[in-house]
Amino acid sequence: MKIKLNRAILILSALMALGFFAAIHAQPNGAGHASDFTSVEYYDAPNEKQMKTRLAGAEAQPLAGGLLVIKQLKLEMFDTNGTLNVVVKAPDCVYDTLNGTASSSGHLQLASGDGKFRVEGDGFLWRRDAAFLTISNNVQTIIENAPMTEKKTTP
Partner 1 sequence: MKVFNLIAVAALCASAVRAQTNANTAASSAPRPATRIQSASVDFDMTGRRAVYHGNVRVDDPQMKLTCAQLVVDLPPDAGHPNHIVAETNVVIDFTDAKGQTMHATSDKAVYVYEVQNGATNETVTLTGNAKVENAQGWLTGEPIIWNRANNSLSAMNQKMIFRQNLDSMKAGTNSPPAK
Binding site for partner 1 (CB under 8 A): 1-7, 9, 86, 110, 112, 117, 119, 121, 130-154
Residue 85 CB, nearest approach to partner 1 (Å): 8
Q: What number of CA atoms fall less than 13 Å from residue 124's CA on the CB side?
A: 26
Smallest Cα–Cα separation from 123: which of 97, 100, 90? 90
CB atoms within 10 A of CB 107: 17
Residue 116 CB, nearest approach to partner 1 (Å): 8
Q: How far apart are CA 146 and CA 75, in angstroms?
A: 26
- Say which amino acid occupies 125: L
What are the beta bridge partners of residue 87?
76, 111
If the CB atoms of residues 7 and 33 are measured against partner 1, the closer one turns out to be 7
If the CB atoms of residues 49 and 151 are measured against partner 1, the closer one turns out to be 151
Residue 54 CB, nearest approach to partner 1 (Å): 18
- Say which amino acid occupies 152: K
If the CB atoms of residues 60 and 108 are measured against partner 1, the closer one turns out to be 108
If the CB atoms of residues 22 and 114 are measured against partner 1, the closer one turns out to be 114
